[in-house]
Amino acid sequence: MNCKIVTIPGDGIGPEIVQEACRVLDKVGEVYGHTFTYTEVLMGGGSIDVHGVPLTDEALEAARQSDAVLLGAVGGDVGNSRWYDVAPNLRPEAGLLAIRKGLNLFANIRPAYLYRELAGACPLKEEIIGDGFDMVIIRELTGGLYFGERHTKEVDGIWQATDTLTYNENEIRRIAVKAFDIAMKRKKRVISVDKANVLDSSRLWRRVVEETAKDYPEVKLEHMLVDNCAMQLVMNPGQFDVVLTENMFGDILSDEASMITGSIGMLSSASLNETKFGMYEPSHGSAPDIAGKNIANPIATILSAAMMLRYSFDLDKEADGIEAAVQQVLTAGYRTGDIMAEGCEKVGTTEMGMLIARHIC
């Protein structure tokens, strides 16, 4: 298979971790007989430096013409970065919102899985972890508060800011379908998270999700308020299988879920549209404080590349091969600094990528 991939290294540690993901993909191509062709484009702070905007029309069009997009990370240190003393639509993260919208990437799929080898890095007590956990958070990505009408104005001498949370039934239904489809391939359980005791948007969310559930009689649907879900994630993470939620709630809950796996550096994600096209990226940020030091954990990006093979190219065997290679390297005791444990061997970004590539077979 010939696969055209747009790579967006982005900012901070982005270039380092994307390089290692491509190294692993190239080894997959060598072993399984595929060709991966990469076209690199700018987004985020790097694009601002060169073009004055976080995402150009040309970069967006290149992404549209590809088969999939592999993204590193965008943004910098908000407190010190020259990229943030500008209007919100010119900041690095605006490029991320724009490419999601421009590619209609409405479904974010973020697994949270605890490797047994990393149980010691999990901040939860052993009796809470139990036999571990394996969940997927399905987050609506192009609606809600982040994309609603907003303004800041002075009213009677007092500054007032307004952000609008809006969803329509079609936006809710299509993300619910994604969640139920994925649940059918897992344990057939969906927990839909909302704030229906307060928000009109959540009451509509709950109604549409319940209507969608009627088409999936084998799937058990439960509802959970977002504040309770935040507590349950650290009290009993093993109860979750597929978690379905809106944009802002999903943003927060998926980061919480990622941290209880031991390191956010382990968590992959996929953002999909209504076809097989997707953008794949690690769940973590750009970590500018460690950029260029060869200490970043590339595993989340490498696992995102595995998701790309699975969801965009239907290469399940190859995706399994990457995931198995990651497992073998962890079992052998190799660790980057963020997941380092006593008795293990500490390696850098490049060496971790090389080790995983070496185990592709």
Give catalytic residue positions.
146, 195, 227, 251, 255
Q: What's the CA gap between 195 and 205, in Å, rounded?
A: 9
Q: What's the CA gap between 43 and 10, in Å, rounded?
A: 6
Buried b (16+ CB within 10 A) or exposed e, 142-173: bbbbbbeeeeeeeeeeeeeeeeebebeeebbe
Q: Check residue 312 and report its DSSP letter.
A: T
Per the CB < 8 A criterion, the answer to whether 68 and 308 are in contact is: yes
Helices (H), the chain: 14-32, 45-51, 57-64, 92-102, 126-129, 169-184, 200-213, 226-235, 247-259, 299-311, 316-331, 349-358
Q: Which residue has the tokens 């597929």?
A: 242
Q: Which residue has the tokens 């794949």?
A: 280
Per the CB < 8 A criterion, the answer to whether 141 and 107 are in contact is: yes
Per the CB < 8 A criterion, the answer to whether 280 and 304 are in contact is: yes
Q: What's the CA gap between 283 and 34, in Å, rounded?
A: 27
Per the CB < 8 A criterion, the answer to whether 139 and 254 are in contact is: yes
* Strand 334-335 relative to strand 345-346, pairing: parallel
